[in-house]
Structures are given as C-alpha cells and as structure tokens.
Amino acid sequence: MAYTTHMAPLRYHYQLLSLAMVAVTAGIAVGQPKPGQARRVQLAIHLDSIGGEGYGASTDVIDEQMATAGPSGDIAFAGLPRDIDLGSVELATVDGKPAPAIAEQRFWPADDSPESHLLRQLGSPVTVTTTRGEVVGLLRAVDGDSIAVEVGKELRILRRGAFVQDVRFASSQWRPTGMLTWRFVDGKTATPSMLGVRYRTSQISATTNLSAMLDEARRTIDVSALVTLHNGTGVDFGPAQVTIFTEPTSDLVAPLPNAVLLAAAADVTVALFPALRKVSVTPIVIVESSLPLKGIETERECGVSQSTADGMTAQGYEFVAAPNAILPRSAIRLTTANQLPVDDDVTLEIANGRGLLVRGTATIEVEHQQVDCTTDEKANTLRETISLTVRNTGKAAMQVELREPMERSLRWKVERSSEPIAERTTLEARFRINVPANAEKQVTYTVVYSW
C-alpha cells in the first residue's frame, strides 16, 4: 500500500502492517544496507495550534536504521518509544526489492520497571533464590505478590517479599526502548538490512513562542518565532529533521532549517525561521468574510448570498519575508517601539515570501451585494455575480485586500472581475485595491461553481 505523507520522501515503498497480521500475501521489499549509511530520522509534529501554547497532538516518525536479528530468529527493529500507535506502523524499504511476505508483527515494550522486565521474561529459564534455597525452572507468571515457576511437572508459587531474595535469568538484558519484530510466511530468516519504520507517537510535544515589536512611526517590525521540543519517548533520536503542522487544517510550517539533536528526555529550543530585524512594513486593510458552513443543497441555492455580516475588517502591516519562512495564521505577542504590550488580538501569517501582521480595526466600510445568480441543473453549475462597495472614512488613502470566500464548491473559477485577482487559495479569491481618503470604490466579480 502506498502511503502519502507530508514529510519529505525517503524513496521508500510502504507496506501497512497491523499487530499479529497472519498470512499476509503482499510482500515487503527488504533493501540492502548502503556502506557507511547512518541512521536517519524525520519527525512531523502536529500541533493543535501555533502561537501562545501550541502543544503537540501527535508526531509521525520515520526512522531509518540497521535492523538486527530478533529474539526468535526474526528481524528486529529497536530504538522505538515506550509507547507507539500500533495501528500506524508501516515498514519501509530502501531499494524496493521483493522479500518474503509478513506473517507476524510484534511490538516489544521497553522495560520501564523491574516488574515489566519480569513480565517480558515469561517462558524463559529462571533461577529464584529463596530463604530455603534455589528454585530452577521456567518463569510462568508474575504479579505483585508472587512468582510462578514451572519445575518439571510441578508448578511452584513463590511468595515475593522476604522469602524471595534473588531472581536470575541465564540470558537477559534490560531494554530501555521498544522494539518491533517481523516473521515471514515461509519461515525464512531475512538478512539484517537497512529498513525504515513509520509510526505515530504522542510522547513528543512542542510549545511555540511567537513575539513581534512594531514601530509604527518608522514602519518597521521585528519578529521572533521559537519552538521548544520535548522528547518524552525515552529514545535518543540523534540529529532529526523536524517539520511542524497545525491541526485540523494541517497547514505547513517550513521544515526547520537544521537537523535537531533530540536526545532522550531533552528539551530543545530552536527557531522556526531566522529572526527578522527592522524589516519595513506597509499598512494594509484586510477585509475578510466569515461564512458558516451550510448544507450542500443550501449552498447551491441562489437565494443564499455570501454575506459579510460576520466578517472581519482589520488593520494589517505587510512585509517581505524569506521565501522559505512559512507560518500559518497564529496568535502572537505584540509590543510597541517603547516596549508597551498591545492588548488587541494580534495574528501573524507568513507564506510565499510575504508576512502579514493583523491587529485592531480599520476605518473602512464594505457593502456586499449579490447582483445576479443563476443555476444550470443540467450542467451542475451556479453562476453568481457579487458587488463590493468599499468606503474609506479615514483621512488618508488606504490599500485594501478583499478576501472573498468561495465556499459553495471546491470547484470554482472567477469568470470575470473588475479588478485582477491578486491571490487565490483553495476557497478564497483575494483582490487588492487602493481607496482614496473619504472616497469609495467598487469591485464586481462573477464566479462559476460546478459539482
């Protein structure tokens, strides 16, 4: 099964696996290790939000390393978190060559206590030293009160506490991290190879710290965007390539420019992008509609106009940003040039080499009117003409960006407009106009929806 991920591709062929998947007929290619190839790790951290306190909801991990022989002659992949989402596990290969089909996949949890280590040794030879001597046999069961040891045909229950003095295994090692193992349908043992595993964990979190200082007199801005990563997996990932997304839209924040050394139990603070200092800003008014999602049948009715009653009119400041700096619209702490905090709700977004800080309200009025609307049931289309009247009640000319929602259908196009479209998103067309002081300007456009 092919898998598409936001993370940069590693030239893998992915096969979706589930725990104890028996008699799977689809094969998995096992690649040969490349000489001197080191472990590679990629992390895609999904945050509930960016700005203020955005905490990691989940993290997708792609871990490429050398597999080893497992405890029962199978292939083992160690160095995994103490807890992973087993339903998300996928095995990846390097060169795409076919290999025996997977018969079984198992996850071996990390040892986080002596109790968990004893439970992992069930069925293993054990020597238990008691106040009455040694008991040698197979470990069959363990709980907080007793140890069950099978001695020949006899099962002995040994009470823990002062009676049990020592428990020894002939071959046993402490496992600080989790491990996955695979067996193949034909029973063959594959040669240890360079493999990749993709899985999801909730034990990596992130907190963002966004701040800006706006000097309106000099028309400059400073911006700082930091993120602190906390690794609670118990795994030392070493240098990892990190990419951050926001939920639920999965808006991309550009991959962090440098690999992050993410050791076990580490807190690491890095910049989302290089800090901006004394960057020139241009005032701009943002007019944005906010439409409630309607049922599809209602959206296709001409009687429903795209009202801007719940929209936003705010003062914005636009600036040039690095092409690789990306930040979804996020809440940000803002101070003035004299270090006074701004109480307004302030947001910042950066994309396509453009940054936009939005704060406060603007002295502008917008009238939104549906001029014409027709539907064609045979062609499954709706054609709608909208007129926008923008009034500038201020004493200075204003540059205005009109953000018009196109939410009747994902398939739409602006057939004609009195002003060119400055930018288009999935569900939005944006127009830019200049409105003189104490004047008004009209923008008319016709959009065709299809389904």
Question: In terms of domains, do 395 and 247 share one?
Answer: no
* Amino acid 300: pLDDT: 64
Question: In terms of domains, do 243 and 95 share one?
Answer: no
Residue range 77-99, pLDDT digits in tens? 888 887 788 888 887 665 565 55
Question: In terms of domains, do 68 and 159 share one?
Answer: no
Q: Which of residues 64 and 220 earns the better pLDDT score? A: 220
Give whole-number Cα distances, 414 to 300, 382, 443, in Å: 17, 12, 13
* Amino acid 364: pLDDT: 85
Residue range 176-228, pLDDT digits in tens? 788 888 877 766 555 566 778 888 998 888 888 899 999 989 999 999 988 88
Say which amino acid occupies 322: A
Residue 417 has pLDDT above 90, yes or no: yes
Say how many domains are in the chain.
4
Question: In terms of domains, do 317 and 394 share one?
Answer: yes
Residue 419 has pLDDT above 90, yes or no: yes
Residues in the chain: 451
Question: In terms of domains, do 132 and 270 share one?
Answer: no
CATH of the domain at 162: 2.30.30.100
Give me the mean pLDDT over the 144-150 stretch. Answer: 91
* Amino acid 311: pLDDT: 60
Domain assignment present for 256: yes
Question: In terms of domains, do 294 and 273 share one?
Answer: no
Question: In terms of domains, do 288 and 267 share one?
Answer: no
- At 26, the pLDDT band (50, 70, 90 cuts) reads very low
Q: Which of residues 411 and 108 earns the better pLDDT score? A: 411
Question: In terms of domains, do 90 and 195 share one?
Answer: yes
* Amino acid 278: pLDDT: 95
Residue 140 has pLDDT above 80, yes or no: yes
Does the model's pTM come out above 0.85? Answer: no
Residue whose C-alpha is closest to residue 387's, from 399, 402, 376, 409: 402
Q: Which of residues 412 and 38 earns the better pLDDT score? A: 412
Residue range 248-305, pLDDT digits in tens? 555 566 678 788 998 888 899 988 888 999 999 999 999 986 554 444 445 667 765 5
* Amino acid 128: pLDDT: 92
Domain of residue 59, residue span: 13-43+55-109+176-200
Domain assignment present for 100: yes
